[in-house]
Amino acid sequence: MTGRRTHVMNVEEIERRFHELEKKLKTGAISKAEFEAEVKRLQFQDDTGRYWMIGAQSGKWYFYDGSQWVLGEPPRATRPRPGSPCPNCGQPMEPGTVFCGNCGYSLETAPPTIPATPIAPMPPRGVTPRARGGIPGWVLIGCATLVVIGVLTGILVVLLASRGNLAFLQRPTPEPPILPTPAFPLAWQDDFSTPKGGWGEAFDLQSVKKYENGQYHISVNVSELFIWSTAGQDLADFIVEVEATQVSGPSDNGYGLLFRFQDDQHFYRFDISGDGFYLLSKRLENQWVTLVDWTASPYIHKGQATNRLKVICQGPRISLYVNDRHLTDFSDGSYSHGDIGLFAGTLSQSGVHISFDNLKVWAPEGTVTVVTPSPSVTPEAPPVADPSQLIAQGDELVLESKFEEAVKAYEQATRADPTNALAYARWARALYLDYQFDKAVAKAQVASELDPTSAEAFALLARSYDWNGQFDQALEAARKAVTLDPNYADARAFLAGVYLDLDRLDEAASEAQIAVQLDDQSAEAHRNLGWVYFFKEQLPEALSELEKAARLEPNLWVRQHELASMRRRSEAYVEAIIAYQRAIELRPQAWSYAGLGACYYELGQYEQALTHLQKAVELDSELAGAYAMMGWVYVRLDQCDRAVPLFQQALGLNSDLEEAQEGLSECQVAMATSTPGPTPTPVVIFVTATPLLATPTPA
């Protein structure tokens, strides 16, 4: 294998590749599954170590912030400009030139660079560009010819002068001296026969660190990832040696020793690769700094083989060895002390498995406190969270209307498993039930990208789109969910809801009926069937279905809120007030306060109405309906001078709001004639909230 690393595509290349795949999909050249599989491979890591992916469904960019995939815009590529320093040798270039006068490098062939080059898990192997331009070739050939003639002439002179005494010409060029190995005593050793060594174990879908069969193993299951473990020591001068074996995986990898490790942004790193290269680098403030670039060595055993690695640190001097053969020396004073560690990393291919054995450390006396590592030095890694348990915890919190706590649980689940589509889907549900529709769409999109076969992910994406007013996208997602699982009741229910918003009542009714038939215990099925009945002007049936939904999920605020809204439309104002109060108790939302105020308005309780309507606009200053309803309260109190500004404010938020238009018109007529309208007699009522039965009644 050559020393050149696999090419990593930049943003523009990834986007071009994505559009090529889209065209192939549309023309039938590839299947949807093949398209989605190819798109999943279009990822890269920027200069901050952040991973980026492009969504198969949306075509938008997302970055992984450590806990979730977030919509964003990746850094774009640029080319070096004439007049800037040469990207090959660093010397200044004259403005307007395209060739470096120092090294001959051509800007026309310079590869695009991202402003702050993306960091791979390890510095990539590079190939120095061939110089172009500069001195013409015939001049160089002529000079070389003259030099050869001069050398031959000199040799002839020597032969004539010394008659064959050419011993001085046979002296070999001395190799750079190898620094003497310091005579440090053995400080400690570890054969990894027991976890008491304190290296820690961790398991997730991306990587594994574990003790097994008297060795310490690191497996990396995804591409472009670097996993390490440290010993918990602080050393200045030392010698460290370990046997490292590539158990399996591609040879285009990196594994070895970390040393003078101070934190995850400050340490040195000695890599070897399965294809026979070594590297010395350091981590400095979110960047890799190459000290000795990838270099081939005949001393490295390639492929699935064992190599004995050694690092000697004495002051700023660093010496590297493999299989007792000296590789290189380097001087760098950035870090004078720190921990030691073991690591394995992947490049473009995943699945690297490295085992380590027979670690030995030599150091000056008194610099290491223990001979055998103690578990107290490095605490055992905390148990890895179970994503399924966290998702179940979040689901319980959602049904109690505790959405912030639910979101935290789902976020922890995605940290434990960043590829868990179900966690993102349920996260979206918590967000849209809390009326955070934009955020819900973003999370549901990630879920559908991670698992294109999940009916639930697409169903929740459909609901998120629908409640965000994106009806065409909602229809596509809902149909996809039903196609993936025709017997999934909630998918049918969400499709019915989309049809309602598109004024396709007959199709909505059909899907809602199927949903209830598939699962009579689905609150979503009864909820959407209830709204179908409402649009058919069958209020008793509509009210019955929403009551069933509220009984199935009694502590979900939106069930109480929608039940209250249906009761208000049925002119059952007292019962509506009870449900609104219960909804507010579960989750204080502006819409519930506005509905509660509207009920008191209908009952002539204007002071109570104003109190709750004012609370509504405090929670949501853009709730046009609440301003309009306050305006009507003042109309009934014969105070149009106070009502008109409220109607105008409502129309400023929603110019098509009929109740505001009608109220403003009525006030203008009343103020023109100065004839006060009649004030209805208030109906004094006392309402206390009573919870609904938790168990559904027979249908």
pLDDT per position as a tens digit, 384-413: 568 899 999 999 999 999 999 999 999 999
The CA-atom distances, in angstroms, between 202 and each of 263, 343, 364 are 19, 14, 32
Report the pLDDT value the prediction gives residue 368, as an integer from 0 to 100: 56
Which residues is 255 bridged to in the sheet? 272, 344
404's tokens: 């912030």
- pLDDT surpassing 70 at residue 250: yes
Give CA–CA dist 663/544, Å, rounded: 33
Give Cβ neighbours of residue 29 (< 8 Å, ≥ 6 apart): 23
pLDDT of residue 674: 65
Q: What is the pLDDT of residues 421-465, one digit of tens each?
A: 999 999 999 999 998 999 999 999 999 999 999 999 999 999 999
Distance, in Å, from the CA atom of 450 to the CA atom of 436, rounded to the nearest integer, reads 22
The reported pLDDT for the residue numbered 681 is 46
Q: Can you give the pLDDT at residue 585?
A: 94
Spatial distance between the Cα atoms of 282 and 288, rounded to a whole number of angstroms: 6
In 3D space, the residue among 535, 609, 538, 618 whose CA is nearest the CA of residue 573 turns out to be: 609
How far from the centroid of its chain's Cα atoms is residue 683's Cα?
56
In DSSP notation, 362-407 reads: E--TTS-S-SS--TTTSPPPPPPP-HHHHHHHHHHHHHTT-HHHHH
Q: Over range 140-147, report the average pLDDT.
A: 56
- Residues forming beta bridges with residue 99, ordered by sequence position: 106
Encoded amino acid at 292, one letter: V
Looking up tokens 């190459």 gives 290
**DSSP symbol at 416:** H
Q: What is the pLDDT of residue 196?
A: 79
Domains and CATH numbers, the chain: 11-109 (no CATH), 186-362 (2.60.120.560)
Confidence of residue 170 (pLDDT cuts 50, 70, 90): very low
Burial of 364 (0-12, 13-18, 19+ CB in 10 A): middle
Of 79 and 563, more confident: 563
pLDDT of residue 631: 94
pTM given for the model: 0.49
Average pLDDT over residues 349-378: 71
With beta carbons less than 8 A apart as the criterion, state whether 343 and 255 touch. yes
Degrees to nearest 5, angle at CA 673 with 671 and 677: 75
Q: What is the DSSP string of 176-224?
A: PPPPPPP-PPEEEEE---SGGG----EE-SSEEEEEETTEEEEEE-SSS
Residue 251 burial (CB < 10 Å; 0-12/13-18/19+)? Answer: middle
Residue 94 — φ and ψ, nearest 5°?
Answer: -65, 140
Label residue 654 by pLDDT band (50, 70, 90): very high
Sequence-ordered list of residues with C-beta below 8 angstroms from that of 63, at least 6 positions apart, any chain? 46, 50, 51, 52, 53, 69, 70, 72, 74
As a residue count, the chain comes to 699
Q: How far is residue 612's CA from residue 198's CA, in Å, rounded to a whole number? A: 60
The confidence score (pLDDT) of residue 463 equals 96
pLDDT interval class at 518 (50, 70, 90): very high
- Cα angle value 679/684/687 (rounded, 5°): 135
- Output the CA torsion sign for 630, 631, 635, 641: positive
What secondary structure, in 3-state letters, does 40-72 show?
A: HCCEEECCCCCEEEECCCCCCEEEECCCCEEEC
Cβ burial 189-216 (10 Å sphere, 16+ → b, else e): ebebeeeebbbbbbebebbbbebeeebb
pLDDT at 144: 57
Closest CA to 13 of 44, 58, 57, 34: 44
Q: How confident is the model at residue 142 (pLDDT cuts 50, 70, 90)?
A: low
Tell me the pLDDT band of 502, cut-offs 50, 70 and 90.
very high
Contacts of 391 (CB under 8 A, 6+ apart): 409, 410, 413, 420, 422, 423, 426
What is the distance between the alpha carbons of residues 165 and 170, in angstroms, rounded to a whole number? 11
Q: What is the pLDDT of residues 90-112, one digit of tens each?
A: 566 555 555 566 655 555 444 44
* Distance separating alpha carbons of residues 380 and 516, to the nearest angstrom: 50
Query: Can you tell me whether residue 560 is helix, strand or coil?
Result: helix
Pairwise CA distance, residues 635 & 85, whole Å: 74
Task: Taking residues 622-642, report their average pLDDT.
Answer: 93
Give residue 120's pLDDT. 39
CA angle 433, 435, 438 (to 5 degrees): 110
